[in-house]
Structure 1
Amino acid sequence: MIHGVFHFGDCAINIAARELLRGGERVNLAPVVFDCLAYLIEHRDRAVGRDELVAAVWGKAGISDAVMGKTVLVARRAIGDTAEEQRYLRTVPRFGYQWGAPTRFEPPAADAPAPVAAVPVAVPPARTPRAPLYAMLALLALACALVWLRSRDTVTTTAPPAAALAADVTVVLPVDVAANADDGWLRLGLMDYIASRLRAAGVTVLPSDNVVRLVPAGTARDAAVALARGVAVRSHVVAAVVRRAGDAWFVRAELIEPDGATHAAQAQTDNAIGAGAQVADQLLDLLGRRRPDAAPGATGLSLAERLQRVDAARLAGDPAQARALIAAADTLTQAAPEMQLRLAQIDLRGGAFEASRDRLATLVAHVSAEAEPLLHARAQSYYCIALARTNRMDAALPACDRAIALLEPAGRPDELGRVYNDRGIIRLLRHEYDLAARDFAQARVASNLAGDALQLTKVEGNESTLEMAQGRYAEAVAIQQRIGERFARFGMHNEVVASLNNQTDTHLALLQPLEALKMNDRALALIDRVADASIRYLTKLQRADALARNGRLGEARQLFDEVLHEADGAPYAPERAIARTGQARLNLAAGRAGDALLLARQALPDLPAPPYGTVRADAWLIAIRSLHALGRTGEAAEETRAFAAWAAGDDDPVVTLYARLAVAEQAAAERRDADARHAYDDALTGAKRWGVPNALAEVAGSYGRWLLARGELSQAATVLGLVARYAEADYDCAVLQLSLYRALGQEGAARNALAAVRRLAGERPVPPDNGAATQAQ
């Protein structure tokens, strides 16, 4: 697809963005009208025949002259043309149409030429499947839901993030500590304690993990205040200092109003937490809020301080210190449910999902929902995540349900937003898209009410993943760009890379391989800052796919090998399976069907669905095609039946398409032509309904090659015309066009198609220029 803007008259059309402007105003067009204009403008160097235009725009032959004429009439009106004047869109009698307007093309910024390399060898007869990474993206979304548990990398924030929150938010800054080195935990521990006490009284407080990202250590007070004011339309800022003098602790805080006015609160006791509680209560008086339950007495201070020390270590990204603090406590403190919950969170953060799951199962069994509803709800919410990360989705949903049922009447939007988001992710993985959308909408409302800027951004990211899972890439990419900027300003490298990976996959699905590689370059530049190993591996796997799609096969193979060697251990079995699938794809394209079959079969057991259904379908189709290439048609038939039976229970559209394609190719191999045609038509209908170029090219390519082999050139032209528009950027589509034009005896068009193949090939094979209009083999 061409990126950039075409200008003519007072109009401008951006084909990639599907936008037509006339006189600076957007013109809304039906999809077929826009596609008709786009195709004629893209091929403005020649007249376009009626049949070619029908194939490219409608994808079928049964379009009447009346429908065609009406479409052209509407297109002309949209750009200010008429049938009489024909200033822009000219009718070619008894043939078709031609674009006739002087047109200027404005390329996008920093546009780079496609790689050029050619090896004059035979073109492989079949295109290997290229499944989009929906399953990987969903896993990334789940990983991002756990980021604050699993990573706390060093941040560098130089500018305030865009105000994502409309609420009136209070931001408690890290506390300045004037005490011994051993008291450094108070910087984050006392900050989190004051924030929690304000929140318990109903104040909307920016969560502590947001603040840690926003204001890294060493930030000057004035700069920290400026950063805090950028997160919402109105922000109250609390800047506190704690000082130790002998056995006494002195805490003083300033409340800075949105208009700059300041108020002071201070307290002195023999304990820092006790002094912090008194200061928090005075701040509540200044904010006009009712104080919560009494501050902890002497008997409760020991546990409260220990919890805050643990939380400070977790906020600082030091899980080992947090675990050591718990281990150093007395037996009674270690057994406290609040401390067991911290241990489970630390396990989740460290990737010990089974250990966390087991600990949380014990906790929810022993903490009464009636006596301690908030603590039970928190335990259930993390239990939901632990179950999901151990691939027990059916059990995870009820845990989320129970947490939500307890949190809704408790008035805790901070907790509720996170759980709704987690449940939405699980429903997304289960392809329950309507229910996922509802959960994300609830999570958005709750996160905004809670003043949780990071959680709100994560929700938006998951909403974009939901759009992608339903084939709505144009809607998703704008969201991803916006949230990527927010995550970057918070220094959240895991989420930034996940957002870039989503944008990379968008370009791959839209058959824009060069743009995908450019986006992945940005992700790879940050990979050393990513703490989550799954995201690192998936970034490399996505790069390998993008490299292969740009013809850089050697580099792609090297990256697949790298992931196989680095992703060691049971938690990363899916990543290794994805790498094997990628290797199998490359081997099948290179004619090494035996190696491809072995790799695909090795990958299948480690790709459960959900969340890896799409990649599993990819591997299964590669295995079946490998069997066909080896002449083992009987085994292929058995695999096809098993594949189709498995896919029948999965409503993922790509899984369904690949299964239909396997059935069609099996019928073709067995020379059951009527069955093959029916299955191909069924698959093509599904691909057009799904509307994602990558899937459409997969089906149209297989169907078109079968029709060419049978000599059904007119029908082949209709089918392959569906992907003609992508031949300028996608190697496989260019090869298909070359095969079609040679079969039709169109020497000039074949030469142009061959030039495109050579330009896009990289290390992939290019057919010889034999100077004859013979069919490519």
Structure 2
Amino acid sequence: MLDVAVEFQADSAESLMIERHDRGDPGTVEVSDPLPAAKPKRRFFVGALLLLVALGGVYLSWKPHHHALIQPVLDFDHSNAAVLPAEVNAPEDSKWLRLGLMDLIGGDLRAAKIPVESSQAVLDMLSQTDMGSSSKFAAFTLVIRPHVTLDNNLWHVHLDASSPDGRIWQAESSSDNVLKAARSADTRLLAQMGFVAEPGKPTTDDAKEEYLMRIDAATYAGASEVVRELLDKAPSTVREMPEFDYAKAVFHCNQGEFELCKQGLADLLQRLPADKQPVLRGRVLAQQYYVYFREHDYAGGEAALSEAVQLLQKQKNTTYLAFAYAQRGEMELLDGKLDQAQSDFGLARVNYALDGFTVGALDMDAAMARLSMQRGQYAQALPVIQRAYDEYQRMGMRQFLPDLLQDMIVSQRALLRYADELAITERYWPFEQKHWDIPEEITRHLLVFERAHALADNGRTTEASKLLEQVLADIEHDPNGEPGLQGCVETLLAKLALQRGDIQASQAWISKALGGQLLEKDPDKRDYADAWLTNVMVLQRAGKKKELQEGMAAMQAWAAKQPAQDEWITVLLLRAQAAVAWSEGRHDQALEQLKLAMDKADAWGVPELIVDAGQAYARALLAAGKVEEASSVGGKLSTWSQLDWRAAWTQACVYHALGQAPSSEQYRSKALALAGDRELPTDASMFIY
């Protein structure tokens, strides 16, 4: 199984980021997209892209100030600035400034054309316990540490800035308004570094802005209950702002309160004509991606996101434009429009790069690598994924590594590099020994699934099955459930039981996977096709001809309903049809179908698909007495006979049919070693499928 997926659930996205950006309307509060739960093996674009979007620009600024550059003292060509959370010496109700000022200062720097790492990225780096405080930010050109103190009703803001070469800058300011003090200190700091800021528009309502910044800070801290309380107790003057309604609607999206999310965004769109607040309207349209995704209305989502792109293009708002491009690309991907998706992912990457967002651009690289994976180009995707992994590792952003680890594992599996696949899982397994603190249950389950799959690929199917059953037990305790993952785990358990010769257990597992329609929650339909094929294989081995015909009819009916043709799914469908035809004595038809499946697998060029289709075809040819043709197919698989037990066993069977006992025994020994605790067929002509 190459593609495993799970229903994306908004309520599993608990660490969402509220964003504010350069835009055409002062004081607008922008809230990021919800992060759906990851899919097993890879979040395939949705999860990765939404994570990217959420990281795309966590910073605050008002209308661009058009700073003029005067002999800058730092070069930001190769690295960004980082603003740390503020040290706050003030009453408890002012603690929101710890993150609020971090965001404000980052926005002002960015308006001065200084690339600033996202606030969430900095917080994530600080959360890592395995890096020294000095080494965390060694790669950044500039690091700013804000300090704020309230003394006799006067706010004092002090900024300490440093560069890796030891240079230090300081700036401070005082005011009865903390936001004004922070802005003044920031302007002075910019001047010291060779930037002069022209006076920007003053904040129109400091009290409103402060309240909205409190919501930002609570969201950064992952305090969803605090955010809910702030929303519930907001003053009437704040509630009148469309920005507040936007924050509230997206909060409902983040909490999985779908109907409130949908209605809130729809109502807000009615209040936001494009000629009045185009940026906020664009943001609302882009946020509606989540609604269209949940309702599987990809065409509607593409239309809404196209409007968002047009609005944000006119406003020249690169950060939000990147957000809209990425979301539209995801919709196009789900709609099977890979070329359009690739174009939009590329445009999103360009805009993130223009904004100086290292993390955003990096994640778009990884997203396009996943698009390559979808096309079967695993060898091309691996170096890109590894580079992204290394960059995140260098920056100490370990919470972004699980997705990339899954991508690397899946790519190695598709290339039949099973030892490398297992070695990648050793980077995080066992979690406790490798000090991986992964709070999201779905992410932990995905990584355990990949570990189990890697064990099975290396011949340790019994050990793998125990781990998979542990995942199922954990899922049962989750009130939200993970239906897509559950269906994929049960499918893999069925395949492993079949390979060990336990037909009864295999039947039980595949019946669970298909009986509850769990895989209907899986956006990746290849997983569903894989389950249908497994069902046919199990019924064939069990000799249940009537159930086999019914299972084949169900698979064909399902395939006919798919909106776009996927040649990968076609290969699996042909193999299932061939199994049924063979069991009914229609051997010539079965061979034609298997040959077509093999040809299509060859066209894809993915070793996993080629070997899986090729071993079935070669064994059928041997059973039909077509030894020469079987030898030709076996020759194609010989490339992987030292890596994969199926390829080695096919070679053993071919040489046995040719009367070459020594060669047959040599490959049989290799197949036994690679198969591990699997049960090799006793009859050389018996199908493995």
TM-score using structure 2 length: 0.82
- Code of the residue aligned with 2:655 in structure 1: it is Y
Q: Is the 1:745–1:774 Cα contact (8 Å) retained in structure 2?
A: no
1:252 is aligned to 158
2:317 is aligned to 412
1:90 is aligned to none
Deviations 1:664-721 (A, max 9, x none): 2222222223322321221111010001111111111111111111111111111122
- Code of the residue aligned with 2:43 in structure 1: it is L
Q: Is the 1:585–1:622 Cα contact (8 Å) retained in structure 2?
A: yes
1:294 is aligned to 202
2:542 is aligned to 630
For the aligned residues, what is the CA RMSD? 3.4
Deviations 1:76-104 (A, max 9, x none): xxxxxxxxxxxxxxxxxxxxxxxxxxxxx
- 1:581-730 mapped onto 2 (5 Å cutoff): 581-593=491-503, 595-604=505-514, 605-608=517-520, 611-647=523-559, 649=562, 650-730=564-644
1:388 is aligned to 293
* Higher mean C-alpha displacement, 499-508 vs 183-192: 183-192
- Code of the residue aligned with 1:714 in structure 2: it is E
- 1:227-306 mapped onto 2 (5 Å cutoff): 230-231=139-140, 235=141, 237-253=143-159, 265-282=171-188, 287-296=195-204, 300-306=205-211
Q: Is the 1:243–1:249 Cα contact (8 Å) retained in structure 2?
A: yes
Q: Distance in 2 between matches of 1:373 and 1:167?
A: 33
2:457 is aligned to 549
1:435 is aligned to 340
Q: Is the 1:140–1:535 Cα contact (8 Å) retained in structure 2?
A: no
* Higher mean C-alpha displacement, 379-388 vs 167-176: 167-176
% identity of equivalent residues: 28
1:359 is aligned to 264
- Code of the residue aligned with 1:377 in structure 2: it is G
Q: Classify the secondary structure of the residue corresponding to 2:393.
A: helix
Q: Distance in 2 between matches of 1:391 and 1:522?
A: 36
Q: Classify the secondary structure of the residue corresponding to 2:149.
A: strand
Q: Is the 2:147–2:158 Cα contact (8 Å) retained in structure 1?
A: yes
Q: Distance in 1 between matches of 2:242 and 2:449?
A: 41
1:540 to 448, 452, 462: 448
* Higher mean C-alpha displacement, 348-357 vs 578-587: 348-357
- Code of the residue aligned with 1:142 in structure 2: it is V
Q: Classify the secondary structure of the residue corresponding to 1:252.
A: strand
Deviation at 1:534, TM superposition (A): 2.7
Deviations 1:555-613 (A, max 9, x none): 22222222222223455111111111112212333444455345334424222387221
- Code of the residue aligned with 2:604 in structure 1: it is W
1:562 and 2:470 correspond: yes
Deviation at 1:732, TM superposition (A): 2.0
Q: Is the 2:497–2:505 Cα contact (8 Å) retained in structure 1?
A: yes
* Higher mean C-alpha displacement, 672-681 vs 471-480: 672-681
- Code of the residue aligned with 1:588 in structure 2: it is L
1:188 to 96, 99, 115: 99
1:209 to 116, 120, 124: 120
* Aligned CA distance change for structure 1 residues 764 and 595 (closer, same or farther; 3 Å): closer
- Code of the residue aligned with 2:473 in structure 1: it is H
2:282 is aligned to 377
> Which of structures 1 and 2 has the larger relative contact order (alpha carbons within 8 angstroms, sep 6+)?
1
Q: Classify the secondary structure of the residue corresponding to 2:43.
A: helix
Q: Is the 1:249–1:272 Cα contact (8 Å) retained in structure 2?
A: yes
- Code of the residue aligned with 1:328 in structure 2: it is K
Q: Classify the secondary structure of the residue corresponding to 1:531.
A: coil
Q: Classify the secondary structure of the residue corresponding to 1:139.
A: coil
Deviation at 1:242, TM superposition (A): 1.7
Deviation at 1:325, TM superposition (A): 2.9
- Code of the residue aligned with 1:144 in structure 2: it is A
2:17 is aligned to none
Q: Is the 2:125–2:397 Cα contact (8 Å) retained in structure 1?
A: no
1:143 is aligned to 47
Deviations 1:284-338 (A, max 9, x none): 6662344432223xxx112211111221222233333333333333345346432
Q: Distance in 1 between matches of 2:681 and 2:129?
A: 61
Q: Is the 2:148–2:158 Cα contact (8 Å) retained in structure 1?
A: yes
Contiguous gaps of at least 5 residues in structure 2? 6-38, 56-74
1:425 is aligned to 330
* Aligned CA distance change for structure 1 residues 551 and 210 (closer, same or farther; 3 Å): same
| Number of residue equivalences | 624
Q: Distance in 1 between matches of 2:451 and 2:460?
A: 11
* Aligned CA distance change for structure 1 residues 535 and 427 (closer, same or farther; 3 Å): farther
1:6 is aligned to none
2:60 is aligned to none
- Code of the residue aligned with 1:139 in structure 2: it is R
* Aligned CA distance change for structure 1 residues 392 and 338 (closer, same or farther; 3 Å): same
Deviation at 1:248, TM superposition (A): 0.8
* Higher mean C-alpha displacement, 734-743 vs 177-186: 177-186
- Code of the residue aligned with 1:271 in structure 2: it is N
1:498 and 2:403 correspond: yes
* Aligned CA distance change for structure 1 residues 440 and 526 (closer, same or farther; 3 Å): farther
1:337 is aligned to 242
Q: Distance in 2 between matches of 1:716 and 1:184?
A: 73
1:580 is aligned to 490
- 1:118-197 mapped onto 2 (5 Å cutoff): 130-133=1-4, 136-137=40-41, 139-147=43-51, 166=77, 169-197=80-108
1:732 to 646, 650, 653: 646
Deviation at 1:173, TM superposition (A): 3.4
* Aligned CA distance change for structure 1 residues 459 and 505 (closer, same or farther; 3 Å): same
Q: Distance in 2 between matches of 1:291 and 1:257?
A: 27
Q: Is the 1:664–1:676 Cα contact (8 Å) retained in structure 2?
A: yes
2:415 to 495, 506, 510: 510
- Code of the residue aligned with 2:482 in structure 1: it is Y
1:62 is aligned to none
Deviation at 1:142, TM superposition (A): 2.2
2:678 is aligned to 764
* Higher mean C-alpha displacement, 496-505 vs 196-205: 196-205
1:750 and 2:664 correspond: yes
Q: Distance in 2 between matches of 1:660 and 1:690?
A: 15
* Aligned CA distance change for structure 1 residues 547 and 219 (closer, same or farther; 3 Å): closer
